[in-house]
Structure 1
Amino acid sequence: MTTVLKTEDLRKQFGELTAVDDVSIEIDDGDITSIIGPNGAGKTTFYNLLTGVLEPTDGAIWLRKDGELADITDAPPHEVANAGLSRSYQITNVFEGLTVRENVRVARISHENQRLDFRSRAGSDEALEADIEELLSLTGLTGIADTKCDTLSHGEKRTVEIALALAIEPSVFLMDEPTAGMNPTEVTEIVSLIQQLDTNLDATFVVTEHNMDVVTDISDRIVVLAEGAILADGAPEDVLTDERVTEAYLGSEAV
């Protein structure tokens, strides 16, 4: 396997608070890696560092691009995205007044750095439209492609957000609580979608998730953060039976 994302001694301090504490990790292609931890463990801050939303206090971040690891430590978010690191958020982030197809079109044109009005390109660019149809098919959205997003269910909106993140053709896809707020049926559907995408795409998936059934179902590897530092790292069957992990979650309703 090949390392596609790497951090070395990554640290983020907010005054006297150390939110991410010297985290060194290598993410390999071919694995779905879940990053879990109690509330306040540093998961969101870690994601924000990886995507350029926050600048690290210390340490370095590398992302594989064009066959080699490139330093993206100080890169702004748009450069990180262009380099191939995409993210979906815990709070759904779609254009509510547009259709599913129009949302995907906006994301795809943005990736191509097109400055033309997205509506004017509808149907006029065969390659663009083919890409959009492929994304809709990959994510199971073809049947609701012309439905406005403000009428969709929560689970459908989350799926649209996944399609938008995939529109930039990421090499690494960070998924932030993909099943948050979903009912059991929607959770099952999203888990199935993640597994299908992992099989069908070259992208490497990294997931933060509170639902431990989901973590167990999708993960090849689990990394546990506690107080900003790595507490455990390994195969699910080893990590989830680790006494240190059990103690970290003692009294917590979710991970």
Structure 2
Amino acid sequence: MTTVLKTEDLRKQFGELTAVDDVSIEIDDSEITSIIGPNGAGKTTFYNLLTGVLRPTSGSIWLRDDGEGGLADITDAEPHEVAQAGLSRSYQITNIFEGLTVRENVRVARISHEGTRLDFRSRAAGDEALEVDIEELLELTGLTDIADTPCDTLSHGEKRTVEIALALAIEPDVFLMDEPTAGMNPTEVTEIVSLIRELDADLDATFVVTEHNMDVVTDISDRIVVLAEGAILADGTPEDVLTDDRVTEAYLGSDSV
């Protein structure tokens, strides 16, 4: 096992409110880790710290450095620098260009990752390698059949899948998934869970998931971390965490999990 993401005593305060309370965690490349907890537990703030959206009050964040080996300090990195370093995120609310087709959305993400300012509509004819990358992403995420469909006509589940493809376009080492099944019907949930499993098996990327659907959590997780009032309440295998009396009493019996 190799540590790909690490925090040390990570803390975020908003005035007198401590949203993330000295969280120290190591994410290994061999596991799908789910982070659960009730609303207000600090999950979104934790993700925002990891991705550079927020600056920590104290503590540090480390990400695997493929160029040097070991871990690189990204505590003070800007969001685009975090993404370029290999940490990608999908959001609870879909974050795609509705007026573009699926293929055009993926093209934008790939060009953005490459750091070029070339026009994404005209570039296709002149960059065969780019189009090969796009086709591979579409196939990997099962979007080939709807590649030329405008995104504003897609179902909610299809839009979430497009967002996953966009996050994968930056070739992440670590992929943070924020409520990937939010708003989905049972069929869509089954499809997205299957996709996550397939991607975990096929890619080198390490998946970290926040999720309220406990069936999904138990289905895909190798490890579960429970946050409560910004601090880690429990951390271990699904079997250990879901039978922990503190977790059962405080969270799993609550509608807020």
- TM > 0.5 between the two? yes
Match of residue 136 from structure 1: 138
CA–CA distance in structure 1, aligned partners of residues 30 and 155 of structure 2: 31
Q: Choose from 173, 176, 181 the match for 2:175.
A: 173
Identity of aligned residues (%): 89
What is residue 9 of structure 1 aligned with on the other side?
A: 9
Distance change in 2, residues 1:190/1:113 (3 Å): same
SS at match of 1:119: coil
User: Partner residue of 2:94?
Assistant: 92
- The aligned counterpart of 2:159 is 157
CA displacement at 1:247 relative to structure 2? 1.9
1:115 alignment partner in structure 2: 117
Q: Which residue is equivalent to 1:47?
A: 47
Partner of 1:236: 238
Q: CA deviation at 1:40?
A: 0.4
* Alpha-carbon distance in structure 1 between the residues aligned to 2:252 and 2:85: 39
* Unmatched 5+ stretches in structure 1: none
Q: 8 Å contact 1:85–1:174 — kept in the other structure? A: yes
Structure 2 unmatched runs, 5+:
none
1:219 — aligned with what?
221
Please tell me whether the aligned partners of residues 232 and 245 of structure 1 are also in contact (alpha carbons under 8 angstroms).
yes
Equivalences, count: 255
Question: 2-side partners of 1:45 and 1:82: how far apart?
Answer: 21
Does the 8 A contact of 1:211 with 1:254 survive in 2? no
Q: In structure 2, what is the equivalent of residue 18 of structure 1?
A: 18
Which residue pairs with 1:253 in the alignment?
255
How far 1:203 sits from its partner (Å)?
0.1
Taking the aligned partners of 2:245 and 2:218, their CA distance within structure 1 comes to: 17
Structure 2 distance, partners of 1:188, 1:227, is 31
- Give the distance between the partners of 1:101 and 1:11, measured in 2 at CA: 40
Q: TM-score, normalised by structure 2?
A: 0.98
Name the CA distance, whole Å, in 2 between partners of 1:176 and 1:228: 17
1:193 pairs with 2:195: yes
> Which amino acid in the other structure matches residue 98 of structure 2?
E
Distance 2:217 2:19 in 1: 23
Q: Secondary structure at the match of 1:252?
A: coil
> Whole-Å Cα distance in 2 between the matches of residues 61 and 7 of structure 1?
5
State how far apart, in whole Å, the 1-side matches of 2:182 and 2:91 are.
Answer: 10
**CA distance in 1: counterparts of 2:226 and 2:173, whole angstroms:** 23
Task: Spell out, residue by residue over 1:52-109, the C-alpha distance to the aligned partner (whole angstroms, 9 max, x if none).
Answer: 0000000000000122200000001000000000000000000000000000000000
Query: Post-superposition shift, 1:254?
Result: 3.9
- TM-score normalised by L of structure 1: 0.99
Letter in 2 for 1:25: I
CA distance in 2, matches of 1:137, 1:73: 35
Q: Distance in 1 between matches of 2:254 and 2:63?
A: 33
Residue number in structure 2 paired with 1:81: 83
**Secondary structure of 1:197 counterpart:** helix
